[in-house]
Amino acid sequence: LAGMAYISSSAQFDGEFNLGVIIGPDYRGKGIGTRVINEMLCVAFDNLKAQRVQALVMDNPGALPALNRFLSL
């Protein structure tokens, strides 16, 4: 198992979703997270008709590159 990803609806606003991705240490730095984020955003906007998708980043300095990728998409 390389990791896990999820999309959940936000309790605050209709059309808003939360996106989470966890990649195991052995699989980081191989582009898997970027591909997963791209696919999950397509699902959110195309299939779920999301108006907004947000990411919650835990207090983990290693998550900063992933957050920057999310913001640049």
Q: What is the pLDDT of residue 34?
A: 83
Q: With 70 as the cut, is the pLDDT of residue 6 above it?
A: yes
| C-alpha separations of 42 from 11, 14, 33, 49 in Å | 21, 18, 14, 10
- For 23-64, write each residue's pLDDT tens digit: 888 988 888 888 888 899 999 999 999 999 998 776 666 777
Please determine, for residue 16, whether its predicted confidence score (pLDDT) is greater than 90. yes
For the entire predicted model, the pTM comes to 0.80
The stretch 11-28 carries a mean pLDDT of: 90
Q: Which of 6, 19, 9 is nearest to 48 (CA)?
A: 9
Q: What is the largest CA-CA distance in the chain?
A: 37
Q: What is the pLDDT of residue 15?
A: 94
Question: Is the Cα dihedral 62, 26, 54, 8 positive or negative?
Answer: negative
